[in-house]
Amino acid sequence: MKLVIAVVQDKDSNRLSNALIQEGFRATKLASTGGFLRAGNTTFMIGTEDDRVPDVLKVIRANCKVREQLVTPVSPMGGTTDSYIPFPVEVQVGGAAVFVVPVERFEHF
């Protein structure tokens, strides 16, 4: 048994959730926040048999896309902000960060 942990952008969350249900996967959704952009994310925890991991990854890959987005950097912590001029920067957002970890034991009550 494996635990698939997928951190996805909020924009992809509903589409991924629906696709997982359609393919017969059960998932727990957790609200999370990214550290770099401080933007909302959703973390999915999906328990599945070892042989179904490629199927889960296929669903995630098909529903979580990388996109370009203009963001204004957050002002520096500490120090003066007199010389700080925030210029928008184009960064890649979206996609999914996926971790697959072994599950030693699973209980359902």
**Could you report the per-residue pLDDT of 23-32, keeping only the tens digit for each?**
999 999 998 8
Handedness of CA 48, 50, 56, 57 (dihedral sign): positive
**Could you report the per-residue pLDDT of 46-104, keeping only the tens digit for each?**
999 999 999 999 999 999 988 776 666 666 555 555 555 667 776 666 679 999 999 99
13 secondary structure, DSSP code: H
Host H or E run for residue 54: helix 53-63
pTM for this model (two decimals): 0.75
Dist. CA 37–CA 35, nearest whole Å? 6
Residues 6 or more apart in contact with residue 31 via CB below 8 angstroms = 40, 41, 42, 43
